[in-house]
Structure formats: C-alpha cells, structure tokens
Amino acid sequence: MSNDDAAGRAKQKRGSRNRTGGGSAKARRKAARLAAVQALYQIDLNQIEPTGIAVESVIGEFVNHRLGEEIDGAKFVTADPQLFADIVRGAAHRRTEVDGMLASALEPRYALDRLELLMRAILRAGAYELFVHNDTHPRILISEYVDVAHAFFAAREPGMVNGVLDHVARALRPDELAQPDPSRDQSKDR
C-alpha cells in the first residue's frame, strides 16, 4: 500500500472533513515525526517483523484512526501522512542499515538492543531521516528528534538523542553540518 493509498482511504472514511487539523506545514511535520516514533515503538513492542503487510497495517491504523484525532478532549494537529508513512516504512524496512549506523554512534555500554524500546524508536526514526532526507538540514532533524525525546523523557535521554544523532549526522553529512543552520538565519534577527 502506498502513502497515497493510506491517505486516500483515510480521507474517504472521514468524508470531506479537513484533515490538516489547522496546523502549519511545520506543525504537521513535527506531528508526523512524533507519530512515526509511536508507530515504530508499537512495531517493536509487538515484535512485528519490520517488513511486509504488518508494517503497512500499523501505518494504516495510524492514518485511519490516530493522526489528528481528538484525545481526551484535546484536538491534535494532523500529521503529514506521507512523511509519517515514509519514516515508519523506511525505518522498518531499512532497520539493519539504520541499526548499523546507530550501533557505531553509541558508546559500547549502550548497546542498541539494550536500550528502552521508545529510545530505540526515536533513534531509528532520526537516523533514518538523516540517512535519506537530504532536503532537510541535519541540525533541523536532530532538533526535531530531541523535541520528540522531550515529549517522553525529562532526564538525560534528550541529550543522548542529541549526541547519537549528531554522531550519525557527522558520519553521513559532514559537509552540511559545517554550513550554518538555515533555520537560524541571522538576517531575521535584525
């Protein structure tokens, strides 16, 4: 099932309802990253094989029932369904490559298979995006996943996410890291 199929099914099921949740494109991307981490966590928690129909089933469940829904009276911004599906599908299907990148970035005392499932999901999603989404500056991606870590953790975990993803980015995209972060355009401060 393609991203368009999943998004199309969700739209048909909900009729003509506006699925943007009122958020900006940036907010929908942030929501997609958060939801992708939750989906990857669900895949890992349920020990779903990272290939085939099971991953597509999790993607479909999120697109049809969770993205942008009202939970406990709060209306959430609808995640960008294409970005969400790409991250989940890519991180799941390329798990071996992603895990290899993460293993080389982790200190020996923090083996990937010994990390908390949620931490693994955050790192996998972030490393996958650093690996394939060359259209987004690595500092932006690192910051996004540090924010995701802050949504779940209050202690040292966000710092660990920052350090590990920075290591991965330096290995994959060193030239871009040498460039200024485009989100911190100095001309805006004047």
CATH of the domain at 88: 1.10.940.10
Highest-pLDDT range among 24-28, 32-36, 51-55, 61-65:
32-36
What is the tally of structural domains in the chain? 1
Rounding to the nearest 10 degrees, give the CA dihedral for residues 91, 182, 180, 143: -40
Domain carrying residue 40: 25-174
Res 151 pLDDT > 60: yes
- State the average pLDDT for the chain: 80
Query: For residue 158, what pLDDT is reported?
Result: 95
| Residue among 124, 50, 40, 18 nearest 88 (CA) | 40
Residue 90 lies in a domain: yes
Which DSSP state fits 73? Answer: T
27 residue type, one letter: A
- Which tens digit of pLDDT belongs to each residue from 9-44? 443 433 333 444 567 888 889 989 999 999 999 888
Query: For residue 108, what pLDDT is reported?
Result: 82
Helix and strand totals (H; E) in the chain: 9, 2
Residue 62 lies in a domain: yes
Indicate the pTM of the whole model: 0.80
Residue 130 lies in a domain: yes
Residue 180 lies in a domain: no
pLDDT band at 109 (very low <50, low <70, confident <90, very high): confident
Residue 101 lies in a domain: yes
